[in-house]
């Protein structure tokens, strides 16, 4: 699974420009699915037929990642930018970003800004792409970039940009690979534009009209120095969402995940996330409502260029998802 994860996290794909990452995922799932299609907003839907009497189930992971978009290029060729999703200046100064055309930019900060001892605002940052004028600048207004970082592996820890949510995509792909049989009609949905408003998940779920929906995404942690109190740690198992700042997980969906984990002896944690939400929030409220839950991968440093997960949690998430899909829902 490491090579799959490497391929997914190192691919370019900010919200709204998911073509490259969609092509990578499509190549992985094409031979495993019974049907495959791209819906109008760009989400990739891979369907696996089940037997009679099963439920229609959506499993969703978002393929977009946070990034920045050029908003202005000055006469010396420096670019100003705005955020795509939750990008924060604290995590950005000195970092490198890459555009789809391969251009790399360094995030600089105005040296003579007001309050130079404070964390700069995004307005006080700029992008240096090596240009000397607006004319020779290789990027233009409206172009999007993502952090540049390779996957690093230290023991059981995996570190990369875009673990949010390529690690969820990896869990879904690996689940589809290992799936032997299921009574359910399964839709593996790789959604677009999660980071800017959960848009792909809502529209895909509306189109599919599922009986049950489960998102796979990252969550926070409570096991780093002076972290917010949260009963989630890396390496202690995937987390079954109970609640986050956008939704209360449907009790039956939460309960079935907990019960299958217990029955199969798979480690798990319960997640109450005070800051953040997932595609499950959007899926839960389409049409007349879809019982929805989320299986979360504990992750440190979410929305920084160095998001860290534990490989054992990823493996156990695949095992638990397979258990959940094996029987009645």
Question: Quick one: 91 or 103, whose CB is closer to Zn ion?
Answer: 91
> Is 194 one of the annotated active-site residues of the chain?
yes
Question: Quick one: 124 or 164, whose CB is closer to Co ion?
Answer: 164
Query: How many Cα neighbours within 13 Å face the side chain of 66?
Result: 20
How far apart, in whole angstroms, are the C-alpha atoms of residue 311 and residue 313?
5
* Contact yes or no for 204/57 (Cβ under 8 A): no
Question: Quick one: 164 or 310, whose CB is closer to Co ion?
Answer: 164
Measured at the CA of 135, the angle between CA 129 and CA 141, to 5 degrees, comes to 65
* Contact yes or no for 235/154 (Cβ under 8 A): no
User: CB of 109: closest distance to Co ion in angstroms?
Assistant: 24
User: CB of 85: closest distance to Co ion in angstroms?
Assistant: 6
The interface region with Zn ion, picked from 1-9, 159-167, 170-178, 290-298 by CB under 5 A, is: 159-167
Q: Which of 28, 194, 307, 311 is catalytic?
A: 194
Question: Which listed residue (18, 65, 185, 217) binds Zn ion by CB under 5 A?
Answer: 217
Residue in the shown chain whose Cβ atom is closest to Zn ion: 165
Cis before 322 (ω within 30): no
Interaction of residue 307 with Co ion, rule CB under 5 A = no
The interface region with Zn ion, picked from 137-145, 156-164, 202-210, 314-322 by CB under 5 A, is: 156-164
Enter the DSSP assignment of 113: -
Question: Quick one: 219 or 316, whose CB is closer to Co ion?
Answer: 219
The 174-213 site mask, x for binding Zn ion (CB under 5 A), equals: ----------------------------------------
Give CA torsion, residues 212, 42, 164, 240, to 10 deg.
0
Contacts to Zn ion from residues 35-64, by CB under 5 A: none
Contacts to Co ion from residues 115-174, by CB under 5 A: 164
Question: Quick one: 138 or 246, whose CB is closer to Zn ion?
Answer: 246
- The total of other beta-carbon atoms located within 10 Å of residue 168's CB is 31
Beta-sheet pairing, 269-272 with 239-243: parallel
Q: Give the residue among 326, 316, 62 at the shortest CA–CA distance from 197.
A: 62
How far CA 287 is from CA of 123, 283, 291, in Å, comes to: 40, 9, 11
The residues annotated as belonging to the active site are 194
Residues that bind Co ion (CB under 5 A): 164
């Amino acid at each position: 699974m490491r090579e799959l994860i490497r391929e997914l996290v190192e691919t370019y794909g900010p919200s709204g420009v998911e073509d490259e990452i969609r092509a990578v995922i499509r190549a992985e799932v094409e031979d495993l699915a019974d049907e495959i299609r791209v819906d109008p907003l760009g989400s990739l839907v891979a369907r696996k037929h089940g037997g009679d009497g099963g439920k229609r189930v959506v499993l969703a992971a978002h393929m977009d990642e946070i990034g920045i978009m050029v908003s202005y290029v000055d006469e010396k060729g420096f670019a100003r930018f705005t955020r795509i999703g939750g990008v924060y200046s604290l995590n950005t100064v000195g970092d490198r970003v890459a555009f789809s055309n391969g251009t790399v930019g360094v995030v600089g900060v105005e040296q003579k800004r007001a309050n130079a001892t404070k964390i700069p605002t995004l307005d006080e940052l700029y992008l240096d792409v090596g240009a000397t004028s607006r004319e020779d600048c290789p990027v233009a207004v409206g172009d999007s970039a993502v952090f540049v970082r390779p996957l690093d592996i230290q023991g059981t820890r995996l570190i990369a940009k875009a673990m949010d949510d390529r690690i969820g995509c990896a869990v879904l792909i690996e689940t589809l690979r290992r799936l032997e049989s299921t009574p359910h009609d399964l839709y593996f949905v790789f959604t677009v534009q999660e980071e800017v408003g959960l848009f792909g998940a809502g529209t895909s779920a509306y189109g599919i009209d599922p009986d049950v929906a489960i998102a796979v995404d990252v969550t926070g942690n409570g096991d780093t120095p002076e972290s917010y109190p949260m009963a989630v740690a890396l390496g202690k198992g995937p987390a079954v969402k109970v609640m986050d700042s956008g939704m209360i997980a449907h009790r039956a969906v939460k309960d079935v995940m907990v019960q299958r984990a217990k029955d199969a002896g798979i480690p798990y944690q319960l997640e109450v996330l005070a800051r953040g939400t997932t595609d499950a929030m959007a899926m839960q409220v389409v049409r007349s409502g879809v019982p929805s839950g989320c299986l979360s991968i504990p992750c440190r440093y979410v929305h920084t260029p160095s998001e860290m997960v534990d490989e054992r949690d990823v493996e156990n998430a695949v095992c638990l998802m397979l258990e959940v899909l094996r029987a009645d829902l």
